[in-house]
Amino acid sequence: MQTRGSINYQRSGMAQMAVKLISSLPEYNGFSRMLDLGCGPGLLGIALILDHPTMNGVLFDQPPVAEVARRCAAEYGVSDRVTVMSGDYLNDSIGEGYDLILASMTLNFALGSLDSEHHISCSS
């Protein structure tokens, strides 16, 4: 199962590296709500929640994968600060009001699905 491989990958130091990088942002202490989009087992988002004492988070992935993220949130004792949502992020609501959105290894699933209605743009 791909999710099991993602758990091993995220536990191999990637979660710690993500926390180190993101926590170095000047705005980090002011973050209150985070989305881990395509979270897999959710360990990157969970690591940030554990590091940031006042931030809450949403872990979002496809239904069977979201169940794994829900179990991981419970295992790490953050279920009170983490909401797990499931669906198709191209078509379903992912919520709003996030200070931080992680989209690690997820946008590749949207290749070929992004049209003018779903385009991603960067503006200065």
Angstrom distance (rounded) from CA 3 to CA 79: 19
Q: Is the pLDDT of residue 10 over 90?
A: no
pLDDT tens per residue, range 30-71: 999 999 999 989 999 999 999 999 999 999 999 999 999 999
Residue 117 domain flag: no
Residues 78, 42 contacting (CB under 8 angstroms): no
> Which CATH number is 101's domain given?
3.40.50.150
State whether the Cα torsion 60-64-69-71 is positive or negative. positive
Residue 124 domain flag: no
Hey, how many other C-beta atoms are within 10 angstroms of the C-beta on 94?
Answer: 15
Q: What is the pTM of this model?
A: 0.79
Number of domains in the chain: 1
pLDDT tens per residue, range 77-120: 999 999 999 998 888 899 999 999 998 766 666 556 555 554 44
Residue 23 domain flag: yes
Q: Residue 86 forms beta bridges with which residues? A: 61
